[in-house]
Structures are given as structure tokens and as C-alpha cells.
């Protein structure tokens, strides 16, 4: 599955950070993790930290799939408003999901400090109303978030103009957000996994999974076999291959990054993630070297050749949208790209087993706009599931919630 088009910034900036061996002999392990992107890396790190014997296999080079195309906005905000999630699943579960995402950002901060040199930075998050008719919903969302303990400020139009230099009817300002270099983070995590005794292989494609009563037998395209007590399918948007029917819709999102703007980058933008209420939404953030990274213009195209042809035109449309907000910015794209992402109906991820493949095959489908945040909290959830411990989010993030 071709998960990206164009020239993703993280891959260009870092080059190939890790070259892992290809699996060429049979092996045994406690847990086999399918997928060497940021989701698989976070889960493998958590499992090894709890004493499990872990092997990771990736069909490409490490972190070279959708992780390299991620724009890596780390937020507690879920694509589905807290108010809407409460209507669907109840106030308690909706608040639990939002608070878990907030706690996951704190854990990501601790993890980033321990692996070091991944450009992790705490930021603010500005969620602005795209249209005046979005203001009442934004006000309701502000009340709901405060009720669940989040520190969030409501800014009216003049306050948005004064603080951020663009016109919007209103906005919510939160301080519990962050950003990271996702490719670098995944690569350094998996290198640490190897140092701690884990096995990591790339250019190794699993073509068959056979769940059995005591283990799972996985077979590669070269015929190599892996016997694992449990398997975690963390293959990003290709994970649905192992399910009898799709549980999410694959889409494409487009992005570009500028040259370093240095003093031309407004200080408030240098430390704030910006996104909007419209769906699909425009979003932007700064990088550690003061480039502006802008994304959006999502569409339903999931055919690589068609997506490839749209990258430049989508970048031009993104430029027009942002220059309407900040006319003075120099937004010449240095690199532009597109990547696959997936959306679930309710905006929540799927973590845990599926009835079709049994209890020994766990899934990590961190789908949606805050996939890295989901992956961090999902790592703890899957550790609990494998160890047969309860977890407060197991039911809400299970496949069964959708019927």
C-alpha cells in the first residue's frame, strides 16, 4: 500500500536514520508487532518496558510509511467534539476519552525526554470558528471542556485579531498540546527497543496470520515463520487488510512546508498549533527550525497515482487559504506531499482484539487527526489486554462499540 506522495519533510530532513536487518530465520517471541511506524514503536517500547520479549516487523524501511508523512500535531482534542461524543456515548465516557488524550500528551513528553533529540515541544492549540454560525457550538464545547477539568480560554473575534493577527469570529485556546518530529521519534524509539533486547526487522512482509489456542503463527512472504504468544497489528491504514470488513474510511491529506522563516514567523505562530471548525479542516504548526508546516484539503482519493497528481495544486490552494488569514507571510513551498489517513465514524480509535481473529491478535488502529496521541494511550491499553488486566478505555475503544 502506497501511503504517501511527493516529498515528506521528515524523510528529507532526516534521511534514512535506521537500517534494520531483514528477517531470514524462524523465531519465537512473546509479542510480535506488525508495523514499524510511530504506533508500532510506542507499543513495542511499552511492552519491552513491562518485560515482554518483543519482535517488530515492518514491510518497508522503519518509519517510512505514513509516519514520514504525518504532520504530528499532538492534541487532546478529538476530531469529534466532546459535546457530540457525550451525546453518543454518555458524558462519563466522553470525558474519559478526552482526559486520557490529555494524559497521553504528558506521557509523550516524558518519553521524548528519555529518548532525546526528537524535536518535542510543548505548544498552545488555537481552535478557531471558520464561520459565524460555528460560534454557538464552540461556546458549548468550551463549557464542556471546562466541566471536565481542561484549562481553555474562549476568545472573541477582537481577541483573536489582537493576539494572533487574523480574523475569526471566535476561538478556543488550550495550552495542553505539543509537536514532534514523528519520523525521528519512531526511529529513535525502535533503536532503543533493540538496545533493550527487542528484535526489529524491516523489509519483512507478513502474508499470513494463523491464530491458535496457545499462540499465533505468522508467515512472511519469504516463508519465514514467527511463533508469538500474541500479535499486535499496528500497520497503520493497512491494518484493515486483516479484518473481514472495513471499520474506517481511508482518505488523503495534503501538506507543505516552507523554508525557515526566521524573524518573519510571528512568535505566536511559532508556539501554537492552529486548526479550524470546518471539516475537512485547515491546520498549521511551526517546526523546530522555524518553518511553517501547513496541511489540509483532505479528500476521498485513495488511489496513489491520482493523489500524486494533486499534490502541487493542493499546495497552491492551501497557500491561498493561509494568505487570506495572514497576507504578509511568505508561503513558498519547499517540500509538498500527501499522505493516507483514516477516519472512523465517531472519531475514536480501535484498540484490542476482533472477533474474526480471536483474543491473541490485538489491533492498534489509531485513526483520526490525533493518531500519535491515540497510539500513546493505546500502548497502555494493549499492554493491559495482553496481560489480562482491566483498562478503563477497553470497552469504549473496542470494535464492539459500533455494533
Tens of pLDDT, residues 51-63:
999 999 999 999 9
Calculate mean pLDDT across residues 312-317: 95
Q: Which domains does the chain have, with CATH numbers?
A: 4-70+183-247+347-402 (3.50.50.60)
What is the tens place of the pLDDT at every residue in 214-260? Answer: 999 999 999 999 999 999 999 988 899 999 999 999 889 999 999 99
Spatial contact of 273 and 105, defined as CB atoms under 8 Å apart: no
- The separation between CA 352 and the C-alpha centre of its own chain, rounded to angstroms, equals 17
The position carrying cell 519483512 is 204
Q: Which residues contact 348 (CB under 8 A, 6 or more apart)?
A: 78, 80, 85, 97, 368, 396, 397, 401
pLDDT at 91 > cutoff 90: yes
Question: What is the separation of C-alpha 66 from the centre of its chain, rounded to a whole number of angstroms?
Answer: 9
| Nearest alpha carbon to residue 344 among 208, 224, 204, 247 | 247
Instruction: Classify strands 333-343 and 199-201 as parallel, antiparallel or unpaired.
Output: unpaired
Predicted confidence (pLDDT) per residue in 8-38, tens digit: 899 889 988 988 999 999 999 999 999 999 9
Q: How far apart are CA 88 and CA 73, in angstroms?
A: 26
Q: How far apart (Å, rounded) are the C-alpha atoms in residues 97 and 310?
A: 35
d(Cα 33, Cα 275) in Å, to the nearest integer?
33
User: Distance (Å, rounded) from C-alpha 91 to C-alpha 187?
Assistant: 38
Residue 149, C-beta contacts closer than 8 angstroms, at least 6 positions apart: 99
Model pTM score: 0.96
Q: How confident is the model at residue 301 (pLDDT cuts 50, 70, 90)?
A: confident
End-to-end CA distance of the chain: 28
**Residue at grid coordinates 524573524:** 263
- Alpha helices, DSSP H only, in 288-391? 304-325, 371-386
Q: What pLDDT is recorded for position 4?
A: 58
pLDDT of residue 236: 87
Q: Which residue has the higher pLDDT, 1 or 180?
A: 180
The rounded distance, in Å, linking the Cα atoms of 82 and 104 is: 17
CB environment 148-163: b (16+ within 10 A), e (fewer): bebebebbebeebeee
> What CA–CA distance (Å, rounded) separates 38 from 364?
11
Q: Are 100 and 377 in contact (CB under 8 A)?
A: yes
Grid coordinates standing for 62?
Answer: 522503519
Helix (H) or strand (E) holding 34, with range, is: strand 27-34
Is the pLDDT at 356 greater than 60? The verdict is: yes
99: left (phi over 0), alpha (psi -120 to 50) or beta: alpha
Check residue 16 and report its DSSP letter.
-
What does the buried/exposed string (b/e) look like for 20-54 if buried means 16 or more CB atoms within 10 Å of the residue's CB?
Answer: beebeeebebbbbbbbbbbbbbbbbbbbbeeebbb
Instruction: Kindly indicate the confidence band of residue 1, based on its pLDDT and cuts at 50, 70 and 90.
Output: very low
More confident residue, 368 or 337: 337
Q: What is the chain's percent helix, strand, coil content, to nearest 5? A: 35, 30, 35
Q: How confident is the model at residue 206 (pLDDT cuts 50, 70, 90)?
A: very high
Q: Average pLDDT, stretch 183-206?
A: 97
Amino acid at each position: 500500500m502506497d501511503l504517501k506522495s511527493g516529498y515528506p519533510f521528515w524523510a528529507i530532513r532526516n534521511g534514512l536514520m535506521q537500517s534494520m536487518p531483514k528477517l531470514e530465520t524462524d523465531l519465537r517471541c512473546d509479542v510480535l508487532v506488525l508495523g514499524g511506524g510511530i504506533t508500532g514503536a510506542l507499543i513495542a517500547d511499552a511492552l519491552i518496558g513491562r518485560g515482554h520479549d518483543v519482535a517488530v516487523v515492518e514491510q518497508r524501511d522503519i518509519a517510512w510509511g505514513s509516519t514520514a508523512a504525518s504532520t504530528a500535531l499532538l492534541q487532546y482534542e478529538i476530531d469529534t467534539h466532546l459535546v457530540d461524543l457525550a451525546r453518543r456515548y454518555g458524558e462519563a465516557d466522553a470525558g474519559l476519552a478526552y482526559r486520557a488524550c490529555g494524559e497521553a500528551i504528558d506521557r509523550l513528553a516524558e518519553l521524548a525526554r528519555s529518548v532525546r533529540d526528537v524535536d518535542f515541544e510543548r505548544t498552545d492549540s488555537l481552535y478557531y470558528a471558520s464561520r459565524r454560525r460555528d460560534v454557538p457550538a464552540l461556546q458549548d464545547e468550551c463549557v464542556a471542556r471546562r466541566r471536565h477539568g481542561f484549562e481553555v480560554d474562549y476568545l472573541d473575534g477582537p481577541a483573536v485579531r489582537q493576539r494572533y493577527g487574523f480574523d475569526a469570529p471566535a476561538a478556543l485556546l488550550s495550552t495542553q498540546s505539543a509537536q514532534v518530529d514523528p519520523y525521528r521519534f519512531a526511529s529513535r524509539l525502535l533503536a532503543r527497543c533493540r538496545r533493550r533486547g527487542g528484535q526489529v526487522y524491516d523489509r519483512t512482509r507478513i502474508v499470513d496470520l494463523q491464530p491458535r489456542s496457545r499462540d499465533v503463527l505468522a508467515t512472511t512472504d519469504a516463508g519465514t515463520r514467527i511463533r508469538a504468544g500474541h500479535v499486535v497489528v499496528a500497520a497503520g491504514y493497512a491494518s484493515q487488510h486483516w479484518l473481514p470488513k472495513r471499520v474506517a474510511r481511508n482518505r488523503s491529506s495534503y501538506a507543505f512546508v516552507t523554508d525557515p522563516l526566521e524573524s518573519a514567523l510571528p512568535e505566536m505562530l511559532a508556539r501554537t498549533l492552529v486548526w479550524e471548525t470546518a471539516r475537512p479542516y485547515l491546520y498549521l504548526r511551526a517546526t523546530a527550525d522555524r518553518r511553517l508546516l501547513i496541511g489540509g484539503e483532505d479528500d476521498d482519493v485513495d488511489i496513489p497515482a491520482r493523489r500524486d497528481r494533486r499534490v502541487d495544486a493542493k499546495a497552491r490552494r492551501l497557500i491561498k487559504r493561509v494568505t487570506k488569514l495572514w497576507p504578509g507571510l511568505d508561503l513558498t513551498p519547499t517540500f509538498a506531499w500527501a499522505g493516507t489517513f483514516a477516519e472512523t465514524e465517531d472519531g475514536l480509535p480501535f484498540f484490542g482484539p476482533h472477533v474474526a481473529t480471536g483474543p491473541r491478535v490485538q489491533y492498534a488502529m489509531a485513526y483520526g487527526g490525533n493518531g500519535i496521541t491515540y497510539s500513546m494511550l493505546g500502548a497502555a491499553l494493549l499492554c493491559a489486554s495482553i496481560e489480562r488486566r482491566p483498562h478503563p478505555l477497553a470497552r469504549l475503544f473496542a470494535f464492539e462499540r459500533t455494533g
